[in-house]
Amino acid sequence: MTTDEKHVETRQEAKLFFSRFLLEWYHIQKRDLPWRRHRNPYYIWISEIMLQQTRVDTVIPYFNRFIERFPTVEALADAPEEEVLKCWEGLGYYSRARNLQHAAKQVKENYGGQVPDDRDAVFGLKGVGPYTAGAILSIAFNRPEPAVDGNVMRVLSRYFLIEDDIAKGPTRVKMEKLAAELIPEGEAGSFNQALMELGALICTPKSPRCLPCPVMEHCAARLAGCEASLPVKTKAKPPRPEERLAALVEGRGEHAGRVLIRQRPASGLLARMWELPHWPAPPAEPGGGSGALLPEAAALDRLRRSMSQAGIHARPEEHWMAAEHTFSHIVWTLQVYRCREEAVLPLAAESRAVYLAAPAGRGDSAMAVDADAAQAAAQPQAAALQADEQPALFDSGDAAADAADSGALRWINREDMANYAFPNVFLKLLNSYFEQ
């Protein structure tokens, strides 16, 4: 036997060993997770979407609540989007929830409400990429499809000592081919879950627990003593910091005890979610970048002008607190200022914000700004603002929201919070405000 033939045989042996011992270990050690108690494709789909970028412990209560509220594909497809977002509140990556509902509508309309047992059909669902499609097809229907995510690539990189960069597309393709070859006949669902389980519990990113690992005997990285340096992964660009000025506007008169919230635009970052109004802070130094703290007086002045331009009649009073919100590409540092609602002057354009009746059953008072009126009202300030704003110097990365100051506004109290979906940072800010 040549050296090459020997190598192929050894590799083949290592593959068989891996599949067999991993599966045996999984059948004994697997965690009891709510979505593993049934083979309901809808449950599996929901859990896989929730588990993207999120830990199992965090997902469990969300999954249980979500399934209770939307027990079927039809229930999810027919629900108001606000309710779906509210159920997702705190999980982050909200486009996952919106895509999920869009895909539920596709399943309802095209497949009679049954998650299809078909590769092309599953791939065609919004928000379903190769990993999720593989997970649904293998776990729910036992199809021999690989489900390769970062955890699985880490395990395979180590066990087979693969030094290719897992951030690169061709490496993923290579890993998918390898993972497909490893699936034992008739065991696709269990095997893929076993691989995920090993990555989550044993072959963890830092300090892999090799001693209790069921495949240690043939793990090439372990044998070479280089398990800690694998997988190879080029670092993503760190998120760009961005300073923003946020307004916690406290109501007076009929709005006493309430604060003002704003709905984000229908597309883009955190689409249609609710927040405290906020705007990019200009650089502290002329020609400087976003990030350095603006002196308090300048911040108050800028916030007052931003609010005025947006048709919000309020006076910033003092810095309240700072908070951070991290996205994959950007980190907002929100400098939150307490502001007092000012009397609405019954004069000219200043008074042209339109106050609407509270929506039935909500119990809050709603204010929608007449966009044209607000724009007309703000013209002089807007012109002044534009003159010194130099937007290119502090690109917010949130242009849609910054341009959409005519978005819906609401006065809410603590009880009303249950009716609106907030990104985590605003949920925390509002909770701590109402707890005071």
Q: Which is nearer to ligand SF4, 219 or 429 (CB)?
A: 219
Smallest separation (angstroms) from ligand SF4 to the CB of 201: 10
Q: Which is nearer to ligand SF4, 155 or 259 (CB)?
A: 155
- Residue of 5, 13, 48, 350 marked catalytic: 48
Quick check: 291 and 395 in contact, CB under 8 A? no
Residues that bind ligand SF4 (CB under 6 A): 155, 158-159, 202-203, 208-210, 213, 215-216, 219, 221-222, 227
Contacts of 377 (CB under 8 A, 6+ apart): 311, 348, 349, 350, 352
Backbone angles phi, psi at 18, to 5 degrees: -60, -50
Quick check: 365 and 371 in contact, CB under 8 A? no
Smallest separation (angstroms) from ligand SF4 to the CB of 129: 25
Q: Which is nearer to ligand SF4, 114 or 229 (CB)?
A: 229
Place of tokens 């509002």: 430
What secondary structure letter does DSSP report for 167? T
Q: Which is nearer to ligand SF4, 26 or 45 (CB)?
A: 26
Contacts of 284 (CB under 8 A, 6+ apart): 292, 293, 294, 295, 298
Instruction: State which amino acid sits at residue 311.
Output: G
89 is catalytic: no
Smallest separation (angstroms) from ligand SF4 to the CB of 17: 12
Contacts of 347 (CB under 8 A, 6+ apart): none
CA–CA distance, 157 with 163 (Å, rounded to integer) = 7
Lookup: tokens for 153: 């690539």
Q: Which is nearer to ligand SF4, 125 or 202 (CB)?
A: 202
Report, as residue numbers or ranges, the catalytic residues: 48
